[in-house]
Structure 1
Amino acid sequence: MGKSLLGFLLLLICGFFISLSTSRFVVEKNSLTVTSPDSIKGTQDSAIGNFGIPQYGGSMAGTVVYPKENQKGCKSFDDFGISFKTKSGGLPTFVMVERGDCLFALKVWNAQNAGASAALVADNVEEPLITMDSPQEDSASAKYIEKITIPSALIGKEFAEKLKKAISGGEMVNVNLDWREAVPHPDDRVEYELWTNSNDECGTKCDMLMEFVKDFKGAAQILEKGGYTQFTPHYITWYCPQAFTVSKQCKSQCINHGRYCAPDPEQDFSSGYDGKDVVVENLRQLCVFRVAKEINKAWVWWDYVTDFQIRCPMKQKKYNKECADTVIKSLGLDIKKIEKCMGDSDADSDNPVLKEEQNAQVGKGTRGDVTILPTLVVNNRQYRGKLAKGAVLKAICSGFEETTEPAVCLSDDIETNECLDNNGGCWKDKVSDVTACKDTFRGRVCECPLVDGVQFKGDGYSTCEASGPGRCKINNGGCWNETRAGQTYSACAETGGSNCKCPPGFKGDGVKSCEDVDECKDKKACQCPECSCKNTWGSYDCSCSGDLLYIKDHDTCISKKASEGKSAWTAVWVILVGLAMAAGGAYLIYKYRIRRYMDSEIRAIMAQYMPLDSQVEVPNHVNDGRA
């Protein structure tokens, strides 16, 4: 960043804070009640973290744990063999870590990965509570901040010392985090506002904001159309100090002679879009809302903003009036009314719409000043937590007076699937979508699944292995397998229980790897003197020198000629033996049949002269003269 740009940005910031000379930042709190031990029983304030998902409208009971190692939570608890996973039938675990040495969000992220249900950060100095915020432009931290789902809170040093003393004394410290009064709920309508920006080139914060607007659009329009909410969009602008209004930098970043400014999108004055382009589009989006509200269709603002993000991005050089007009026309809004609302950006006078926005930035009543983007305000209380559909909708719905919540608050639109974020902390197969996480009404459970008739077994948190028949069909049973040149080998066997064992010709753990065994190198094959060995993947080939032929069963080499001669004589002997056996068999059959024929002839002749023992005597019929 050039010195001129850096200096100008500092001037803009100075101008912003001069305009908010009476400003203040309000820390949003929730109550923390100690239910045991009796020595420290009572209710304390805690400051809600500006990331994760606070349980707006609800409460959570748990047991406080203070680790003996990694007490600041700046390193992974896995490195110390520490786990905070809730055991069956036990209360959720609230991990208390010390402030200092690393980002607040990193402490909470490490606690979540270790299985904690909530994180308490103990302040290290005596001071009023502050809001734990996420870093502004840190792409590395943004990757895990988006995945934080557990709530977190900062607690005072004095109170934290009491908790530590009780835990070190062997006391079981039970507490209750309560967010039910974090958002006031005076009536059956919730007023909320979103402080946003049309710039789509400001890094991770802009990306997060745009994704939220797209995701939240449906729920927001249902609430607005039903008259359940009153939504208002807002945009932050700064002003350029009077002494610099004629400078090149001020003219490129501001409209109305330095009264309303925005930083350069690319942080480069010499290329791309200027800050004044962002201010003009912000003003257009404000006027789109006002014109749509006049015709009782305030929710059309969500359509315009999402469509503009898709159709008119800076990266495609479409961030301009022409593209904006095409979006406005497609939504059926009056372009002339919108242009009249926007006014003359070159006029040396106040713009009524943007002037009102600057006044709204200053906190009033219980709401603090808006100093960062994005900021969400619900019933005049600044929302703290992850800018995500489920979390924000829960906060908005907690702002209704009890029993007046609209149906959308009681439907799946607000019911969050805990398995979608970090897989609920449960086991998940690295290759397939098989997971042990099951979402229930009361939260997620980690239970090894049954997939296509194959039961997985394990603790559900870190391990699940396919077991029994058919297990090799599910991701090869978690075992190693590989295919080369159409040949496939696997370390999984249907009859091998749940163990993985490298097949013959390979060595290794059977899970991550199986390496080919060089049978030739280890001299496990082709040991005969004339043998020549060639290793192949998973096997080997043996050959013999000269005219010798390798006989694998005997691991030996023999002469091809001898083999051929021997084979020929063997064939001759086989034929001769076969013929001899056939002749002998025929002779026996012939002899047997001749003998039976002669026996039958002799018996017939003898039967003519005397009856044989085996024959029945034929009776002699004599006529005795009877009629």
Structure 2
Amino acid sequence: MELQRSFLGLLLGFLVLSLTPLSSARFVVEKNSLRVTSPDKIKGTYDSAIGNFGIPQYGGSMAGAVLYPKENRKGCKEFSEFGISFKSTPGALPKFVLVDRGDCFFALKVWNAQKAGASAVLVADNIEEPLITMDSPEEDGSTSKYIENITIPSALIEKSFGQTLKKSISSGDMVNVNLDWREAVPHPDDRVEYELWTNSNDECGVKCDMLMEFMKDFRGAAQILEIGGYTQFTPHYITWYCPQAFTLSKQCKSQCINHGRYCAPDPEQDFSTGYEGKDVVLENLRQLCVFKVVNKTNKPWVWWDYVTDFQIRCPMKEKKYNKECAESVIKSLGLDIKKVEQCMGDPTADSENSVLKEEQDAQVGKGSRGDVTILPTLVVNNRQYRGKLEKGAVLKAICSGFEETTEPAVCLSSDVETNECLDNNGGCWQNKAANLTACKDTFRGRVCECPLVDGVQFKGDGYTTCEASGPGRCKVNNGGCWHDARDGHAFSACTDNGEVQCQCPHGFKGDGVKSCEDVDECKEKKACQCPECTCKNTWGSYDCSCSGNLLYIKDHDTCISKAASGGKSAWAAVWVILIGLAMAGGGAYLVYKYRLRSYMDSEIRAIMAQYMPLDSQAEVPNHVNDERA
């Protein structure tokens, strides 16, 4: 069983290059020209093969002086260990380092030269053979640290030309060269056609991470080019097939659909756990069908929204890589799910799938383009792109496919701006009633992030949900509760006592979310119950009035008299009060006069008694003497 599994894994690891019986696998080396400008004895133009990493200067050229180090000539060790630096001095040409092939990865040689200050690297072949493409190794813990950071261009040169350069340098000549990429991509018309061979699997290591990051970064530029009609983009997906003898095996059934016709490797390389290869095939097929559906609506750029949103919302690591999550993304972009499903067909049928069969045919190289054998692969104007999958580098390669002076503005400026939020709200969450959206337009394209409104932070995934959190939530769209205003009166059902609740306010009834209806307090006899009361219902409240001259007291739901009796009684009461007050005042005045007079009499009698005592009174002591004592 282990032998069978190993054999099957080996078979599934190869591309379907034998689907067309008479064709054979063909890899086309993409070349640029290397022109020697000095010394005269070796002046001329030579071919060189563009490295499949770093950043080639598509559409441009680079001049430099070639150096061949005396030590570490294969570049497998860091040049700093030998005290060697290639940093250019002011006014001098950039340094192109010539190293020999062998003993270590091409990418490691270029990385070591870049760290030492080289501007470009030429690798001299060690055998006489046609030029090949220098590719990056399969990433592991050590190589992933430098592969994605290589930014200088590199090229492989033939053994004989390498020996010519070495001989000239050793004789003391200054060897100056020009690396020219201007014709690496042809420009036959005023539109660039390019295709990206990609994969929906996000669990294949560093290469998958780089691909996913590129998709998000490049989306804005790709959509501008497509919307403006400058480019025609087509996505592609590589599929394998299962040999006829193994179509009924457990491994083929887990990795393939349509009875072994279309397969993908197991994402975890483990048949017993996690996702299966057929899960990847189905999502690849779905992404192809999304492109076909949006292309028929003349909006092919929406494909970029789908694939980037799917990466964010449906990752394998979170166990969301499934049909349900994919359909939620499709729905958020306003696409017709039924049309996508119809395009996908029946994956269990023992028959060809027209969409995937077309992809397998497209893998075979045509014209000057070679077979697609690695992922990811970018093809521009039928030439395979070589270099790092990075936004700036790829954009430069695509723009080099335009004739000079015909390129769009995006090619002449780094300011790539687009407002994707204007179309279908970018597929993000929105609340139309409150004019709220999670869509934010950025340099990289739109992102779906829950907003901050009036100090209230919304939280959620930004695609399907955003809910207000923290205090003040009732200020934002009334917390999602019912609210209304009439005749200058406004009511809201939102209450926030640590948690938002929707409760209809006093005078209303309902669920508090969708509706609150006015309560007719008069009809339901909840108010104005006194015999003299007359009730009139108002929106959210009521008015009570009393018959005659009675006054309504709302707190007690009763009527009281505005006065004790009629008009004459009132005036009589007033006269009684006035007369009473007058009599009281007169009495008080008489009492006052009596007391004052009594006091004066007593004082006079006391004074007179000092001089002539009265017969009825004893002698009064001398007041003055008493005061002096």
The two structures share one fold, judged by TM-score above 0.5: yes
Code of the aligned partner of 1:301: W
Task: Give 2:133's match in structure 1, choosing from 131, 142, 145.
Answer: 131
| Shift in Å, 1:328 | 0.1
Q: Kindly state the Cα deviation for residue 374 of structure 1 after the two structures are TM-superposed.
A: 0.3
- 1:535-578 Cα shifts (integer Å, max 9, x gaps): xxxxxxxxxxxxxxxxxxxxxxxxxxxxxxxxxxxxxxxxxxxx
Shift of 1:260: 0.2
Q: Equivalent of 2:231, from 229, 235, 242? A: 229
Coordinate RMSD, CA, aligned: 1.5
Residue 186 (structure 2) pairs with residue 219 (structure 1): no
Shift of 1:3: 4.8
TM superposition outliers: structure 1 runs of 4+ over 4 Å: 1-4
Q: What percentage of aligned pairs have identical amino acids?
A: 81
Q: Is the partner of 2:156 in helix, strand or coil?
A: strand
Larger mean CA deviation between 135-144 and 302-311 belongs to 135-144
CA distance in 1, matches of 2:330, 2:248: 33
For residue 142 of structure 1, report the CA deviation from its aligned partner.
1.7
Opposite residue 399 of structure 1, the aligned amino acid is G
Matches within 5 A, 1:284-433: 284-413=286-415
The answer to whether the 8 Å contact 1:378/1:399 transfers is yes
Structure 1 match to 2:179:
177
Task: Tell me the CA shift for residue 96 of structure 1.
Answer: 0.1
Q: Which residue of 2 aligns with 1:147?
A: 149
Q: What is the deviation of 1:414?
A: 8.0
Letter in 1 for 2:238: I
Aligned counterparts, 1:161-176, within 5 A: 161-176=163-178
Who is 1:497 aligned against? none
Aligned to 1:33: 35
Alignment of 1:28-67 (within 5 A): 28-67=30-69
Shift of residue 15, structure 1, vs aligned partner: 6.8
CA shift in 2, pair 1:376/1:226, >3 Å: same
User: Gaps (5+ residues) in structure 2?
Assistant: 418-629
Q: 2:203 aligns to what? A: 201
Structure 1 203/54 Cα, relative in aligned 2: closer, same or farther at 3 Å?
Answer: same
Q: Which residue of 1 aligns with 2:12?
A: 12
Asked if 2 retains the 8 angstrom alpha-carbon contact of 1:15 and 1:240, the reply is no
- The structural deviation recorded for 1:2 is 5.8
CA distance in 2, matches of 1:17, 1:388: 28
Q: Give the 3-state SS of the residue equivalent to 1:46 in structure 2.
A: strand
Instruction: Select which of 142, 158, 161 maps to 2:160.
Output: 158
Q: 1:273 corresponds to which letter in structure 2?
A: Y
Deviation at 1:41, TM superposition (A): 0.7
Q: SS of the counterpart of 1:215?
A: helix
8 Å Cα contact 2:182/2:400 also seen in 1: yes
Q: Quick one: distance in 1 between partners of 2:367 and 2:116?
A: 40
Indicate the structure (1 or 2) with the bigger Cα radius of gyration.
Answer: 2
> 1:138 deviation in Å?
2.3
> Cα gap change, 1:299/1:121 in structure 2, threshold over 3 Å: closer, same or farther?
same
Shift of 1:112: 0.6
Contact 1:189/1:400 (CA < 8 Å) preserved in 2? yes
Q: For residue 413 of structure 2, what is the amino acid of its counterpart?
A: S
Q: CA deviation at 1:77?
A: 0.5
Secondary structure of 1:333's counterpart equals coil
Instruction: Check the 8 A contact 1:105/1:134 in 2, yes or no.
Output: yes
Q: What residue is the counterpart of 2:503 in the other structure?
A: none
Partner Cα distance (2:81, 2:353) in 1: 57
Report the 3-state secondary structure (helix = DSSP H, G, I; strand = E; otherwise coil) of the residue aligned with 1:396: helix
In the aligned structure 1, how far is the partner of 2:17 from the partner of 2:331? 39
SS in 1 for 2:216: helix
**1:168 CA drift (Å):** 0.3
Q: What is the match of residue 550 of structure 2?
A: none
2: distance between equivalents of 1:411 and 1:11? Answer: 47
State the partner residue of 1:588.
none
Q: How many residues align?
A: 415
Q: Distance in 1 between matches of 2:285 and 2:277?
A: 13
C-alpha distance in structure 1 between counterparts of 2:76 and 2:92, whole Å:
26
Pick closer, same or farther for the CA change 1:377–1:14 going to 2, 3 Å: closer
In 2, Cα distance between equivalents of 1:179 and 1:139: 32
User: Counterpart amino acid of 2:290?
Assistant: V
Contact 1:5–1:268, Cα closer than 8 Å, also in 2: no
Cα distance between partner residues in 2 of 1:371 and 1:5: 23
Amino acid at match of 1:172: M
In 2: Cα distance, 1:185 partner to 1:14 partner = 33
**SS state of the match for residue 31, structure 1?**
strand
For residue 91 of structure 2, what is the aligned residue in structure 1?
A: 89
**Residues in 1 aligned to 2:13 and 2:391: alpha-carbon distance in whole angstroms:** 31
The 3 A distance-change label for structure 1 pair 120 and 406 is: same
User: Secondary structure in 1 aligned to 2:348?
Assistant: coil
Q: Give the CA deviation at 1:399.
A: 0.3
- Mapped partners of 2:325, 2:14: distance in 1: 34
Q: Which moved more, 1:133-142 or 1:218-227?
A: 133-142
CA contact (8 A) 1:390 1:414 kept: no
Q: Which residue identity is paired with 2:408? A: P
Shift of 1:255: 0.4
How far apart, in 2, do the equivalents of 1:11 and 1:293 lie?
A: 35
What displacement does 1:9 show?
1.4
The one-letter code sitting in structure 1 at the alignment partner of 2:269 is Q
Q: Which whole-Å deviations, capped at 9, do the CAs of 1:335-382 have from their partners, x for residues lacking one? A: 000000000000111000000000000000000000110000000000
SS at match of 2:304: helix
Q: How does 1:551-566 map to 2 (within 5 A)?
A: none
Q: Distance in 2 between matches of 1:286 and 1:381?
A: 22
1:193 alignment partner, SS class: strand
Please say if residues 119 and 153 of structure 1, whose CA atoms lie closer than 8 Å, have aligned partners that are also in contact.
yes
The answer to whether the Cα contact below 8 Å between 2:124 and 2:162 also exists between their aligned partners in 1 is yes
Amino acid in the other structure paired with 2:138: Q
**Kept after mapping to 2: 8 A contact 1:5/1:267:** no
Gaps of 5+ in 1: 416-627
Counterpart-to-counterpart distance in 2, 1:180 and 1:14? 34
CA deviation vs aligned residue, 1:76-135 (integer Å, no higher than 9, x gap)? 110000011111100111000000000000000011111111000000000000000001
Counterpart-to-counterpart distance in 1, 2:15 and 2:113: 40
Amino acid at match of 1:75: K
The Cα shift of 1:319 comes to 0.6
Asked whether the equivalents of residues 219 and 413 of structure 1 are also in contact (C-alpha less than 8 Å), the reply is no
User: 1:16, CA displacement in angstroms?
Assistant: 2.7
Q: Which whole-Å CA distance do the structure 2 matches of 1:64 and 1:14 have between them?
A: 39
